[in-house]
Each structure stands twice: as C-alpha cells, then as structure tokens.
Structure 1
C-alpha cells in the first residue's frame, strides 16, 4: 500500500524497517509537553494579537522607541471645514502619571470640524462591511457649553466607510466617552478621524477602536484569527512575555522610574485599567503599549487551555549583552515583585495582589505552577548567583512552584556547559535551553537528549527553529521532534519560536504564524507543530528504525577572510596540501585579483603589502579564494585587528557565501571565540572558548583540515579541534500510544527526495485494525506558505490492509502520522 507522492519529485525509493514493541511502554508524555512562546517581536502584540486598531493611541511614541518616531506618528491633522491647530502636550493636565502625553486641539471655529486622523498599522485600519467597532476616548474641554466631537471611518481620500458617530464632550475634567460604529464597506486602508467643532480647547487621550468581535469576546481582547490559530494548536503551555524583551534591563534601566522610557519589562507596569498603564520602548525597536499585560496573558492562557509560564528578569542581561546590575536593594525589590506576581496569579481575592486580579475580573486563581527566571544570560556565574536568590525566596513561600533556570543562548559552548554544571549542582528542577540552527543540525542531532541524565534537571526547550520557513526547514524540525518525544522523560516542555510576525515589521525569521491587516496564515512549521501538538499520545511506545545508507564525505572547500564590525589586516595567506605542495599563496605584494568579493560587503584594499578591510561598520565582509574541491589542507594566515568591536573571521571549507566554516576569533563583541558552520546562511557552533583579540597585535593562525577532523592553532599553540562527522539522517520516527482511542500513533518523517518503502513490524502480541488513518504533510523542500498560497496543508486518507506486519511507502519530503487500532 503506497501513498502517492503528490507534488514532490521522486528520485528513487529507499527501503527501511520500523520495528515496534507494541506491548512495551516508554516515557510518559506530559499533557503540557508542547506549547507556544509569545514575545512582542515583529509587532506581535500591538498591531498583531492585540486587537486595538489605533496606532499610538495615547501619543506616547518617542525617538527613544525608534529614531523615526514622533508623538504624532500615525496621526495627521484633518479638517472638514473647521480651523485649528494640534499639539501633543506633557504637563500637569495629563490623564495620569504613567501615560503622560495627550493631544490638545485648539479649535478656531469654521463651518465644520478640525481634528486628527489615525492610519493604524501597516497600510491602514482594516474594517469589514457590516461589522461593528467599539470606539472610546478620554476627553475634556474648556468650552462651557461643551464640544461636539465627530468620529468617522474613512478611506485615505476621506470617503466614508461607516456612519459617523457623534459625541458631546462636557466639562474640563477627564472623562471616558464611548460608542459603536458599524462599517458599511470593507477596506484595509481605513482612517479613524476624530474632529471637534466650534471653538475652545479640546484635549484627547487613549483614542481607541476595537472590533466588537474579539477572541472569546473579551474586552481589551485578542484578534480573532490569530488567537484561533494559536488555540488550534492545543498548546500545553504559554510562555510569555519574552525572550530578550524580558531581561535586557541593564540596557533599558531596571530601576528607571515607571514613566521614563526604556524601562525593563516589569509586570506591575502592565496591569490595571489600560489608560493607567505605562507605554515603553520595546527591545526590538518600537513602542509597546502594554495593552496586552500580565492579566491578559494569564486570561489568554486559560482561554486556550494552556499552562501559564511567565518569565521574569534576573537583573543580568542576555541576548548579546554582558552586564549585571550590582544593587542588592534593587535585586530584593525584583525578587519581591516576583513573589507578588505569584500572589497575583494564585492568591485569594482577599490578598493584596489577588484582590488586584479580582478587581480586573478574575476572582479565581490562575493556577500558576511554573516560572522562569532570566533568559539567555551570557554571564553564567553572575546570573546563577542571582537566580539562586530568586529560587530560594520563591521556594520558601511557594514550594510547589517550579523555578526554571536556563543554559544561555546556544546549544553548546562554555556558557552552556557552565550553566548546566551550576544547575545540576544546585539540583534545579528544570533548565531552559534555546537554539536556532540549520536544518542539517536538526537532522544530525536527533539523539541529543538520549544521553542526558535521567535523574538530573528536566529540559524546557523554550526556543528553537531551523532559521527559515521553507518546507525543508519544517521537515528537519519534525525529524528532531521525534527525538524530543522519544526523550519525553527528560524534555518536559518544548516551544518553537517566535510565534507571530507582521509582514510589514519583520525583525526575525522564521516565525510560526504570519499576518497582515486582512489575513493570517500558518507557516510550514506551523503545520508541522500543529500535527505533533494535536497527536501527542500519553506515552512513548518503544521502536527502532533502520538507517539511510550513505557515508560522510571529507570536508572540502575554498578559503576566505572576513570581519564583523571591525577593521583588520591579513597577510601571508598560504594553503598547503597534505603532501606538502602549495595549493595557494598570496603575500599581497601585487593586486587582489585572486580574491572574490561580494558587492557592498566591506571595503577591501591592499595597504603596505597586506589585505585590509577598513569599514568598521560592515558585517560579514567575506572574500574568498581557491578551489571548492580542496580537501586535506593547511591554511596559514597572519591577522591584525586594526579597530572595531570584534576580531578576525578566517574561513575554510567554503562552498559559497552561505556554506562554509569559519574561525571566529574575538566574536560577540570580543567576548567569545568559536568555530561556526554555516549551511544556507544558518550557523551552528562547533567549538568555543573565551579567547579575546588585542588591537594592533599580529596573530599567526593555522587551520589543519584532515577528512572531517579540523585542528586550529593560534600562535603555534593548539587552540581547539573538532570532528564534524555526524550523519544528517533524513528518516526518523517515533511511536506513541493514544490510550483514549486505543491507537498507536506511528509518526514518520522522510526528509529526502526519495520515497521510503518501509516494512512496519508491530509484533504478534497485538490485535491490529485492518484500516488505519493517515495524516500527511508533503511538498517540495523550497515550498513556503504565504498569504496567497499554502502548499503545505494536512491531507487525510485511509490506509487499508494494515496487519501485524505490513509495508507502507512514505512519500518523499513528507511527515506522516498513521493512527492504527492496536489492542
């Protein structure tokens, strides 16, 4: 029985076997194993999941958020025959201390109104014919008889999209005015115009427009299509609010007053009435309104049936920064804030913070059980000393809460090893791992957790992805997930990241769900994640599969030189074959004709007999030379850092500008040195230490390549070595049992261009139903789901003739889940 392969071309058929111990029992899989991670990156909150349609609704945008911002960003004056002027003011007449600016309209009469119009996010405000929208504004007027205010939805030319809403503002004290607008047209280019009539001064703040329909009809709620897609995953947990957003406080100011910009993310800023919440500079370069705050995160978790998992700052920076706040009083304040957060989530309505929760509309506890402290810290000992204090305080007051540590920003290296040593020694219950790697890495590392200590800390894989959204990436991630499930006794939680991306504000890719004003769609990885997350099973069933025939070829490729935000000089480049013959030499006494450059990457020239890259602002200035077929050679080069943030980048095994190895000396702002492997532009670290590079000093570098073994020497001393011989196995599987339905779930990933004809042996101790249900995702490796086409979608079918032993052909480049009745 062969499921035909659809759109993907089939080069050949490879034979495999899967043997299942159908009566055996492997690791128990927790209901919460797969979840989602929400961070406000790529405009995921404002203009995204948060259903508010007005951008800069409280006039708080500032150049501190983004150099292009002003307090009137997204706003423009508008007139329907009236006259006046507009100004954003920060004075004692403000609405509140934490939301300080407001709009002042000085009205000078005329035959109509004068005011402002808001363009929303992306290209405009999305409205749909027949739908209702809730408008609100805080306003005051100094005109004794009041000021008439007209609210309109128009297209960019001023043509109406809805019937106008008319309000009368009375009194010179702030009051909230509300109304509902029904659209009579569909447009993604809408403008919200608010105009005042007559004369006098009209003050406005918190101008808001919400769809009447939000997810679960929550006030201040979520955009329905995005929330529905997240809910459809049936996530076991929701990690929030970051990520790098959380723990970059030394960069922003952990102790900045709550009305100043660039304050670290602190949960108490995000609760209470929205008009009283602060706005803040987002780590990712824009303004965040805190319209989605901790209450909304907890509420959303409950609405989608997910365990809430907040992450709080540890007062040590991560995400490429290396600072720790040295202030014991500030540390104790943040520890107390964390204790208060747990009370806000779990405390009775009679407690101080439980009462705050109840006042917001949720008297019952949110049942918080896990909390993360810190994220991707680069100073392991400084972080862990602070983490230990958080953990001690939390466990003393709330012993049932699991306090989660972390292992830094990568899957390996000195920081990773040190943090795991510290977590293990302190018997931390769970450690958060993060890594973004190439598809090849995910295919090579399926067995990563096979060797983890079964009695040590459990793993929370809080962020992972394979650095693109093509189907080939999703296949590699799916292959890796079979290893996560097989090790469900170690890997207790896992979440792909990031979750959301607005197509007009992309700062990171890949992302699971993409959206614009009018539509949203799941990436190829979304479809894979959904298939795994909705077909987990209660426990693993022991199984094994045969491997794909093949061998690992020697490392081969040309050589290269590069810099990153640094000016450097290179000289006496020589490549010698293993037999001693010279393959390449350049002492730069002539021109640089032997070197291939990439236009726009740096400024390379020969200066005083050396090859100099002089642009300190340029990143990845790679120039290459030699033959991509070279194997088993030595590369020698002399390098001198002239100026800048980092050190040298010496490449070998170069196939092209996206596929190579390089020795990165003085990387990450001259804090870490490593060998990185780039495949399709996605990098993974193979070996790492803390070598730093001095400016003005010449270094002798040597790279010895022998087969898959590489040895690196710095000034004649061995710096490090590695063997890159892991096999990228394209055929992976895991079997779980769904005790509710009595089915075995055979999950198979075939990440290659060949069909996989597979003999499946379920044994003779199980009664098997003759008909199985199959769900298949299949496509070409380069397929991408977009707003206009989603080639990667699940396909349901029935498989006949299933028995204790049967043969099934898994299509090329596919993920297949077979549900087999087995008793």
Structure 2
C-alpha cells in the first residue's frame, strides 16, 4: 500500500468533514432545489458489443496489517504462544508479552523466557521455563495466564476449544498441569479446567479440549503446574474447533465467511509492504535475527517449526497462517491463488536494491520452489512437502506477482527480468505480474509503465488511495489505455475514509473499471481486514473485534458488484450532471511533518498587484491560527519556527478563505528532521486545502497534494529534496484553477485542477447464464435522479425486474452495533423497452432485467 502520508484512523474521520465542492454533494441543474429530481437519460446501445468481463474481475487483497492474521483471520486465540516476542521486534516487547504470572493455593516459583540447549528446535528457540518451589498444598499451582489479543480471549457458550502445548519436565514421576479459562482479573471460570500430566525431559505435545460453559469476551487462558522442579513450555495454543470448513490450524469462521460471501475471483497474499521491506538476508540464521523479509519457506511445515517474524506494521506475526493455509483458503472460497514474492527492491517509503547476485539467485530459486510447492507432483521435493501437509493435489497456481510498490523502477525491472526469465523457462504457464509503484501518477508511475511496455510484461499491478473526489473525477481513467499493451491488475485501491460517501465514489469508479474490462482484468479493494484494537491503516473493508465482525459500507458496495458482475459489457451512455466550477479560493498556511522548519517574509499579492497579506514576524505571530496540539510554533530569530521534529501535520493558517488569483511568497528553511516543509494555499479549512510538500516521503520527493473529503491526491510531483539549513524562496501563483510553482526563482511545475466530479455514473452488463441485463447506476448527488431508460431497439424484456439498492446518508458508517447501509431488495414493475425510474439520492442501484428471447 502506498505509504504517502499514513494517518491514524481517528484522524481520517476528523478530516472527512464537508465534501469537496462539486463532488459527492454535486448540485442538480441550476435553479433546481436539492429536493427536486434531476432529469437524466440512460440509453443502451445494443448494436455494439462491449468487452467480456473475466470471472476473476474482482477479488480480495489480503495483507497482515491491522492484526489481520494473528488475532484476526488466523483463529489462534493465544498471543505470543511460542514466547518469541523480543525488544528487537518492538521496544515494548518481552518474551512474556501477553502473559502474566499466576499462582493459587500458596504455590510459588519463577517464570522466565530462555533460549538454551533445551529449546524446542532451531527456529523456535525461546521457551518458558517455570521453576517450581513445591510450596502450598496438593492443589497449589504456579504458572502463567495469557490475555489473547485486544481485550481478551472470546469464547461462546457450548463451543469447544482445542488446547495444545509442547512441554518437558525434569521431575521424576511427572508434573501435574492445570489448564483453565476464566474471566479477566480472576473472574469466573468459563470452562471446566483441563488436567494433564507432563512426563519426561524430552519435548512432547500434550492436547485436550475445553468446552465453554459461558460466553465471555475478556477471557484468560491459565496454564499452571504443581509440585517442584523445572517445567518447560512452548507453543501454547487454544484453537476454536469451529473454524471455517472445520480446518485444523484454520480460519476464524465469521471472518472467512464474510470473505467467501464476496465470491472473490482471486486471493492476493500475503501482503504488500511486509513482502518487500526489511532485511533481504536469507533465513539461515537462528530465530533471534529479526526483521527479515518475508520468506515463504518459513511459513510451511509443522507450525511448531515455523519462524516468528517482526511484521512491517509494528507487531509480530507467528506464520501459523502460512503459504499452505493461504493456498487452501483460496481453494475453499473458490478464488484463484495469487501470491506475491519480494523482488529485492524495496518500496513503501524505502529506496534500496540488492547488489548481491547470489542473493538474487536464491530468491529466484525460492520462487521456482514456490511454484513447485503449489503445482508440483508429489514425487517432487516441494510437491511432497505439500502432500505431507495434507494436500497431495496441486493447488493450480497460474499467476504470481513479483514485487510490490517499488520506488526504483529501473532497478526493479532489471531484477524482474531475471525472475521472468527463470519462471518462463521452467513454467511458461505462469503469468508474472509487474507493478507501477505506490501511486496513480508521477515520475515513478510513468517510468514503470514505460518499462512494462518495453519489456512485454503481461500485467501491471497499480495501487492508489485517493479522495472521493478523485474517484468521481477519474471514471474514465482507463478509457485511453493502450488495448494492445499490458493488462491492469488494480491490486489496491480505496477512497480515504469508511463513510458511505466514499463507497459511492468507489462505486462510480467501478462502473469505469467494468466498462474497461478489456484492460482492467482484475481489481481488489484494500486493505481487507482491521481489528478495532490495532489499526495501522484505514479505511478497511471488514472490521472486527475478538467476538464480532461487520462489513463497512464499502464491503456492501464491493459485495454488490462482486456478486452481480455479469459476463459482458453492453455499451450504454448517460447524461451528465452540470457541476459549477469556480476558481481555487482559500487562505494560506504553513506546516511541517516530523521536521523542524522556519518561515519568514510571508506575502500574498493579488494578480493586479495589491498586497493582501504580509508578515515578517517582527510583531509576533498573531496573524496565524494554529490547531491545538499540532507542533510547537514560536517566533525565534525573526522567523516563525516549528521546533517539534516528531509532530506531524502541524498546519497553521492565515488570511481570507475568499482569496483568489494571488501569488504566495514564502522563505522557508529546514532546521532538523526527516522531511522538508509544506506550504499551503487554497485553504478552506484544515481538511480542505492544497499544499506544496517539499522534501516529503522521507525527503525523497516533492509534490503538490490536494486534501478534501477525507483523502489526498497528488496533482504534480518530482524528485526534489530539501537541504537542511538552506533558505529557499518559494512562490505559488494561483490563477483560476491553474497553479504554477517556483522554487528559488525557477519554475518547478504547474497543474490545472479542472476535472469534473461526475456524481451520476452507470454501466450495463449481461448475465449470459441467467439471460439478464444488469443495469448499475450510482447517484452520488443530493437530488433524486429521474431517469428515462431506453434499453435499445429490439429489446424484449420481462415487465418485472429485481432491484437491489444501497442507500444512506453520505456520512453513514457501518459499525458493530448498527448497519445503516445494507442492501434493500425488491421487485420493480413497469419495466419495458423504454421506461422511467427515479434513482434515490446517495444511492447505488442494481436492476436485473430479464431478457425475453424472440
């Protein structure tokens, strides 16, 4: 996923605020009130044939972000089950993270995580050593309790939970072990305790089943021992018996069912940024060497022999959910498996490429072994490994992505060529997918596509996250793509918030994806999953806590499109909605991002030479408005200084929101920190503005970004970086909707922001098996859309159609307790070759119209 300017989830909602002018609240024709219907036409052209839509058009992108795996889709209930957490992974981690000592009946002892000669195996080295004092009576127990993920372990009355642990003891005659489920802080028992006896000083797996006799969401699993001596424990596991399709080491059923209900055509895994970041070293060292790149071979085989790794997103991943489980899950939900492997060129805010030819050869060999693991016969080494894990039949891998969002396109395509040559030589049946970097436009994107076309790759993976306005403005993005060039896999996209206004914009954009199905062969919203207690990225498709899960408004939108795709596009046209467009207006602003910077001699001059504003800060900073808690702004040495190098988005503003056609002059100096400085213009409020981001993205590039409707989009960019201690002269010229930017007297770039945000969009497809036209209409405006629909000459249709509508307030958000946006199904009567239907305001409508044969 593009790591342009990640924001905490809470900030996303705060930025949503008002809509972009002329976007989701687009007005009807001049003179009409918001309550009056806007008149539209929709005409189907049956004389032409549109592109065929493949069965893999829509799928799901899975990444272990927001606790999507451990604590999420992977059904394991115990956190840090193998005691491998360490400060090297996260400063707050210890080997006992998620564990606490517990004692009953006067028992005493010590608990410590050790890595010694008694380890379980070379990849699972750390384990828990309990030194038992033998104090207390017969029922005395000393041990540890696990809090699971988030608020605790969730169990449901009557359900069974399978417990297992690897253990060894030096006590002759064995060590009694009690396993119990109880509420938080010594709460009531949630299940009848399980009693086991550990025997012998060699590792052995012990199992049992707990049946919940009450429902709870804050449970704790206690594993406690009696007597004296040393007891060693590892791989403490509690797994619900009721996993998706009853798979052992399987998926949390409610989450898996929601994914399956989308009927995805493909499953991309195991992620994006976690694949191509971190160390590029091979996994040959002991498990204490952290932050390795994702190695698929670490994730297969017996779970107790799999590695634990530090996730890119700031927490650990156990690899219990590994490549075998991903392939099997794809098979279970009827999706094409689509793994992505590292290309040894980093992305996601990093810029580094390996120069080690041996390491590159090893990764290419690993990729060939992966194909063999997926498709090879049981007589092959990796096919045999797959069979040993319980799946002798091949998984049928056909597509494989190499790399993810690389920022160095030339280095990436050089290494991609090595991967492609090896794969095509041994497996010509495999389609290798390239990518175009982390954004929808810009120098990296353009160069990546140039190299893609020159190298003849079959498919290019595009990623972008933008404002709802961008999605409404870019319905025709793929209209002009080369039909003979590489196909597009839109692997990650979303409008930047989780409100229904975002879903409306996404739906309008998706009509353009379907209309261009001859170019866009696959598409997937991202990210897929988010645990409410661990959010690194928002928006997300499916939200969950330890006990519940629910689909966002975008989930309902995606589900509607994914389960009503059709087989072929039927060409159609609709009338447009007049949208008033005026000049860029707004005040000015200064900001920083994890950087200290000083500003001086701020002037705003109108296009006719009048001085609208001037501040040299000799009288303080009284003309500026700062948001509470955003940085530390003071006047120092005659300049306006922001000194906090940790603070992000420290925007201060000045001037009149009605300003238009002006020049903004600023002198700016970076003092310290990892980026440059930001100068804002066209500021309507903190959530609606433009800013020139000089030295952004870790001081690797510069761009003008437009913020509005809860998201940002890039207007123009280049590779300018900012020097510390150097004063820069900045001038921003705003004329109408055209902006020209100058740095130290030289023209840096320009753009014209004149795209129309069209709120009324449509596409028509045909379901050949059912003999139905599927008329899909998005009305993202305040007014109802009274639409004259003409199905075309020669059309013969049934008088009744099936109608499915998603409708709601643009600010509506689906939550665990309330789903204001859900499909409403009904029958529509009076359908004919030509008829009129009024589409509600803020709605997504699918009409399934039965075609009659002559």
Task: State the TM-score, normalizing by the size of structure 1.
Answer: 0.98
CA gap 1:595/1:256 in 2 versus in 1, 3 angstroms: farther
Structure-1 separation of matches of 2:284 and 2:355: 15
Partner of 1:186: 215
Structure-1 separation of matches of 2:647 and 2:548: 37
1:440-459 correspondence runs (5 A): 440-459=469-488
Q: How much has 1:689 moved relative to structure 2?
A: 0.7
Partner of 1:4: none
Partner of 1:5: none
- What secondary structure, in the 3-state scheme, does the structure 2 residue paired with 1:478 have? helix
Show CA shifts across 1:361-399 (max 9, x none). 000100101111111111111111111111111111111
Tell which deviates more after alignment, 789-798 or 384-393.
Answer: 384-393
Q: How much has 1:258 moved relative to structure 2?
A: 5.3
Q: Which of 99, 107, 113 is equivalent to 2:124?
A: 99
Tell which deviates more after alignment, 40-49 or 84-93.
Answer: 84-93
Q: How much has 1:792 moved relative to structure 2?
A: 0.6
Structure-1 separation of matches of 2:792 and 2:465: 39
Structure-1 separation of matches of 2:588 and 2:125: 57
Partner of 1:195: 224
Partner of 1:759: 788
Tell which deviates more after alignment, 190-199 or 365-374.
Answer: 190-199
- What secondary structure, in the 3-state scheme, does the structure 2 residue paired with 1:249 have? coil
Q: Which of 670, 690, 695 is equivalent to 1:666?
A: 695
Q: How much has 1:681 moved relative to structure 2?
A: 4.3
Partner of 2:177: 149
- What secondary structure, in the 3-state scheme, does the structure 2 residue paired with 1:245 have? helix
Q: Does 2:246 correspond to 1:222?
A: no
Q: Does 2:115 correspond to 1:90?
A: yes
Structure-2 separation of matches of 1:662 and 1:54: 45
Structure-2 separation of matches of 1:694 and 1:211: 56
Q: Does 2:304 correspond to 1:275?
A: yes
Structure-2 separation of matches of 1:105 and 1:239: 42
Show CA shifts across 1:117-157 (max 9, x none). 11111111111111111111111111121111111111122
1:395-474 correspondence runs (5 A): 395-474=424-503
Q: Does 2:799 correspond to 1:770?
A: yes
Tell which deviates more after alignment, 553-562 or 688-697.
Answer: 688-697
Q: Does 2:661 correspond to 1:637?
A: no
Partner of 1:121: 149
Q: How much has 1:452 moved relative to structure 2?
A: 0.3
Partner of 2:334: 305
1:480-559 correspondence runs (5 A): 480-559=509-588
Q: Which of 314, 323, 345 is equivalent to 1:285?
A: 314
Q: How much has 1:310 moved relative to structure 2?
A: 0.4
Structure-1 separation of matches of 2:249 and 2:160: 15
Partner of 2:70: 46
Q: How much has 1:567 moved relative to structure 2?
A: 1.9
Contact 1:23/1:765, CA 8 A, preserved across alignment: no
Q: How much has 1:256 moved relative to structure 2?
A: 6.6
Partner of 1:35: 59
Contact 2:803/2:847, CA 8 A, preserved across alignment: yes
- What secondary structure, in the 3-state scheme, does the structure 1 residue paired with 2:345 have? coil
Task: State the TM-score, normalizing by the size of structure 2.
Answer: 0.94
Partner of 2:84: 60
Structure-2 separation of matches of 1:501 and 1:607: 44
Structure-1 separation of matches of 2:667 and 2:96: 54
- What secondary structure, in the 3-state scheme, does the structure 2 residue paired with 1:686 have? strand
Tell which deviates more after alignment, 414-423 or 75-84.
Answer: 75-84
Contact 1:258/1:278, CA 8 A, preserved across alignment: no
Contact 1:498/1:511, CA 8 A, preserved across alignment: yes
Show CA shifts across 1:593-618 (max 9, x none). 11111122122222232222222222
Show CA shifts across 1:177-211 (max 9, x none). 11111111111111111111222211111011111
Unaligned stretches of 5+ in structure 2?
A: 1-32
Q: Does 2:101 correspond to 1:71?
A: no
Contact 2:283/2:295, CA 8 A, preserved across alignment: no
Tell which deviates more after alignment, 516-525 or 252-261.
Answer: 252-261
Show CA shifts across 1:411-462 (max 9, x none). 0111001101101111110000000000000000000000000000100000
Contact 2:278/2:312, CA 8 A, preserved across alignment: no
Q: Which of 368, 375, 379 is equivalent to 1:339?
A: 368
Partner of 2:777: 748
Tell which deviates more after alignment, 430-439 or 693-702.
Answer: 693-702
Q: Does 2:401 correspond to 1:353?
A: no
Show CA shifts across 1:496-543 (max 9, x none). 000000000111100000001111000000000000000000010000
Q: How much has 1:644 moved relative to structure 2?
A: 2.1
Q: How much has 1:664 moved relative to structure 2?
A: 1.1
Structure-2 separation of matches of 1:169 and 1:605: 65
Structure-1 separation of matches of 2:405 and 2:220: 41
CA gap 1:163/1:10 in 2 versus in 1, 3 angstroms: farther
Q: How much has 1:11 moved relative to structure 2?
A: 2.8
Q: Does 2:845 correspond to 1:816?
A: yes
CA gap 1:168/1:10 in 2 versus in 1, 3 angstroms: farther
Q: Which of 245, 259, 265 is equivalent to 1:236?
A: 265
- What secondary structure, in the 3-state scheme, does the structure 2 residue paired with 1:136 have? strand
Structure-1 separation of matches of 2:637 and 2:322: 59
Unaligned stretches of 5+ in structure 1?
A: 1-8
Contact 1:560/1:654, CA 8 A, preserved across alignment: yes
Structure-1 separation of matches of 2:644 and 2:226: 57
- What secondary structure, in the 3-state scheme, does the structure 1 residue paired with 2:730 have? strand
Structure-1 separation of matches of 2:719 and 2:283: 31
Q: How much has 1:249 moved relative to structure 2?
A: 2.9
Show CA shifts across 1:718-742 (max 9, x none). 1111000001100000000000110
CA gap 1:158/1:779 in 2 versus in 1, 3 angstroms: closer
Structure-2 separation of matches of 1:705 and 1:424: 36
Q: How much has 1:35 moved relative to structure 2?
A: 0.3
Structure-1 separation of matches of 2:276 and 2:749: 32
Q: How much has 1:580 moved relative to structure 2?
A: 1.2
Q: Which of 150, 160, 166 is equivalent to 1:138?
A: 166
- What secondary structure, in the 3-state scheme, does the structure 2 residue paired with 1:297 have? helix
Show CA shifts across 1:646-681 (max 9, x none). 222111100011110111111112211111101134
Q: Which of 368, 381, 394 is equivalent to 1:365?
A: 394
Post-superposition, which runs of at least 4 consecutive aligned residues in structure 1 deviate over 6 A?
none
Q: How much has 1:253 moved relative to structure 2?
A: 4.7
Structure-1 separation of matches of 2:307 and 2:429: 32
Show CA shifts across 1:289-311 (max 9, x none). 00100000000000000000000
